[in-house]
């Protein structure tokens, strides 16, 4: 699933390409991805003719702010990613007009297409069809449960160590699980929780209540460092995530522990282990990250 760095990369790239463009039309095959409004024809009527004023992010949610006080919310979920380009529909499949990364298999599961002014198309490729598309009244979205439950964004300038401490105060459970809780901190998932905890040299199974202030500080600093580095490298494309161009990000090339079970720890040479936490895998070095 795209996490904060992947979503932030997509948002930054969208800002460079789609601001001031207008939605001309929209196509969807199963309509499964469109959650609000429930009927596709209503969604289509509401979005056509609206201008893109700004693009932003809340946690893992992409927000496209439109004219007429509307906001298009896109959550890419497990296998979804946005693409920009030009396609034609042939025998039930969307084919890119230009040769290149958009032709790669991972980019061919297109279930939603927007036509934008200026002869450009925005598409959603989503193998599992779990991605969520919602069109909101902007004021309603700000007050919605979607945002009300979200924790603070770890890259906000005002997210100080003190606020990080407060976010984790009285939280129960393993630190890996708590870091991935979107109600505690928004945007961190399986990949970056592993990488952050390795960087901080904290065992993923350690109870939050047993973490010292010094250990919390290490996690906080590692979180800032790892997320910023991943954004610079344009995200992790070990799985389905791709850039708007269809190309891969590069963070998977520098991963230290995530999906590296049985390989050597880059720090001490120990063997990386994998353990299950509530059905999710945690990767760590038992020598560097002692429980």
Over the stretch 172-212, which tens digit does the pLDDT of each residue have?
Answer: 999 999 999 999 999 999 999 999 999 999 999 999 999 99
Residues 6+ away with beta carbon under 8 Å from 184: 151, 167, 168, 171, 178
SS3 per residue for 44-76: HHHHCCCEEEEEEEECCEEEEEECCCEEEEEEC
Q: Tell me, yes or no, whether 201 and 102 share the same domain.
A: no
CA–CA separation, 102 and 84 (whole Å): 9
Give the pLDDT of residue 278.
86
Q: Tell me, yes or no, whether 6 and 143 share the same domain.
A: yes
Is 58 among the domain residues? yes
The tokens for 52 are 């893109």
pTM of the model: 0.96
The range of the structural domain enclosing residue 59 comes to 2-147
Q: Tell me, yes or no, whether 171 and 135 share the same domain.
A: no
Listed in sequence order, the DSSP H helices in 38-189 are 40-47, 138-142, 145-148, 161-168, 175-179
Q: Tell me, yes or no, whether 6 and 134 share the same domain.
A: yes
Question: 86-116: per-residue pLDDT in tens?
Answer: 999 999 899 999 999 999 999 999 999 999 9
Quote the number of domains for the chain: 2
Which positions are catalytic?
Answer: 2-3, 60, 280
The sign of the dihedral angle between the CA atoms of 285, 199, 244, 73 is: positive
Q: What is the mean pLDDT of residues 104-133?
A: 97
In terms of Cα–Cα distance, which of 246, 225, 274 is closest to 97?
246
Residues 6+ away with beta carbon under 8 Å from 74: 61, 62, 63, 64, 82, 124, 131, 132, 133
Work out the percent of the chain whose per-residue pLDDT is above 70.
100
Q: Tell me, yes or no, whether 122 and 173 share the same domain.
A: no
Q: Tell me, yes or no, whether 49 and 184 share the same domain.
A: no
Question: 265-288: per-residue pLDDT in tens?
Answer: 999 999 999 999 989 999 999 999
- The CATH number covering residue 62 comes to 3.20.190.10
In terms of Cα–Cα distance, which of 118, 115, 108 is closest to 26?
115
Is 41 among the domain residues? yes
């Amino acid at each position: 699933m795209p996490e904060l760095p992947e979503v932030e990369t997509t948002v930054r790239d969208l800002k460079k390409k789609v601001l001031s463009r207008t939605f001309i039309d929209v196509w969807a095959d199963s309509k499964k991805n469109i959650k609000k409004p429930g009927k596709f024809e209503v969604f289509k009527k509401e979005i056509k003719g609206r201008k893109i004023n700004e693009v932003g992010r809340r946690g893992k949610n992409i927000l496209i702010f439109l004219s007429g006080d509307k906001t298009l919310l896109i959550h890419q979920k497990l296998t979804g990613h946005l693409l920009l380009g030009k396609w034609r529909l042939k025998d039930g499949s969307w084919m890119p007009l230009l040769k290149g990364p958009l032709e790669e298999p991972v980019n061919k599961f297109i279930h939603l297409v927007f036509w934008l002014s200026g002869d450009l198309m925005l598409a959603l490729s989503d193998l599992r069809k779990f991605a969520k598309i919602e069109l909101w009244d902007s004021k309603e979205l700000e007050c919605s449960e979607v945002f009300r439950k979200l924790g603070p964004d770890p890259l906000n300038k005002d997210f100080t160590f003190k606020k990080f401490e407060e976010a984790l105060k009285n939280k129960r459970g393993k630190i890996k699980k708590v870091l991935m809780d979107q109600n505690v901190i928004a945007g961190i998932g399986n990949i970056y929780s592993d990488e952050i905890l390795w960087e901080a040299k904290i065992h993923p199974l350690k109870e939050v209540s047993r973490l010292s202030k010094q250990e919390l500080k290490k996690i906080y600093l590692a979180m800032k460092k790892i997320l910023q580095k991943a954004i610079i490298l344009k995200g992790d494309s070990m799985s389905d995530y791709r850039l708007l161009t269809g190309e891969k990000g590069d963070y998977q090339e520098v991963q230290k522990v995530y999906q590296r079970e049985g390989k050597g720890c880059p720090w001490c040479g120990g063997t990386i282990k994998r353990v299950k936490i509530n059905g999710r895998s945690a990767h760590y070095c038992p020598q560097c990250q002692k429980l």
